[in-house]
Structure 1
Amino acid sequence: MSNAVEHPKKTEGFNSFAEFYPFYLREHSNRICRGLHYVGSTLGLCIAGYALFTGEYIFMLPAIICGYLFAWIGHFFFEHNRPATFKHPLYSFLGDWVMLKDFLMGRFCRK
């Protein structure tokens, strides 16, 4: 019996979001997939804003579904990989917003 205490990893193989984000970007190399992420995130944000503004919190569920639906369509039909959210849900969620911010700031060139 070992005396060593095993600590669960924060996210499998990544010690920080800074380590995760380059992997996340590689998983989103297809521009249609990225575009679908941008559309889903933006629509989801608009729906969530509506829910918060009107107090109709039932719309938070469609906001979440909208964001993930567009993203997963991008992965399954264009990127042909499994969404990172399946293994790294928190970092992946953060990655969606950082990637959208990077896009809005012009950090991705058009190819």
Structure 2
Amino acid sequence: MTKPVFESYEEFWPYYVAMHSRTATRWVHLTGTLTGLALSAYGLARGRKRYTLALPLVGYGTAWPAHWFIERNNPASFGHPAWSLRGDRQMIRMMLAGRDRELGEIAAKWLADHR
């Protein structure tokens, strides 16, 4: 599959979700991001600024291997870092709202349309 080109985040979003087509990949992202946020918040509350490094280290440190070993693709952040960060937030919000099935449907549609 050739790497798609996007003109806007709205065009990018279904692709981003498709790169997270497996439920396990999305849940690893959610777990890593929330753990990184919790550690960063703890560090800030305790005056330990180095803990703020937990967000990118734990977040990406769990997410990227999930792409390679579960999803079998490269993280979208390699080509679109800013939109991927926005996509992470949107995906995690949807998951926390109980909309994970909808994410699976978005992924399946994009993959079917682009294979």
Normalised by the size of structure 1, how large is the TM-score?
Answer: 0.82
Quote the offset at 1:13 in angstroms.
2.4
Equivalent runs, 1:5-84 vs 2, <5 Å? 13-84=5-76
**Looking at CA atoms only, which structure, 1 or 2, has the larger radius of gyration?**
1
The alignment-based identity, stated in percent, is 37
Whole-angstrom distance in 2 between the partners of 1:56 and 1:85: 28
Moved over 4 A (4+): none
CA RMSD of aligned residues (A): 1.8
Q: Which runs of 5+ in 2 are unaligned?
A: 105-115
> How many pairs are equivalent?
100
Whole-angstrom distance in 2 between the partners of 1:92 and 1:71: 12
- Higher RCO (CA 8 Å, separation ≥ 6 residues): 2
Normalised by the size of structure 2, how large is the TM-score?
Answer: 0.79
> Which one has a larger percent helix, Structure 1 or Structure 2?
2
Match of 1:3 in 2: none
Q: Secondary structure in 1 aligned to 2:74?
A: coil
Match of 1:95 in 2: 87
Q: Which runs of 5+ in 1 are unaligned?
A: 1-11
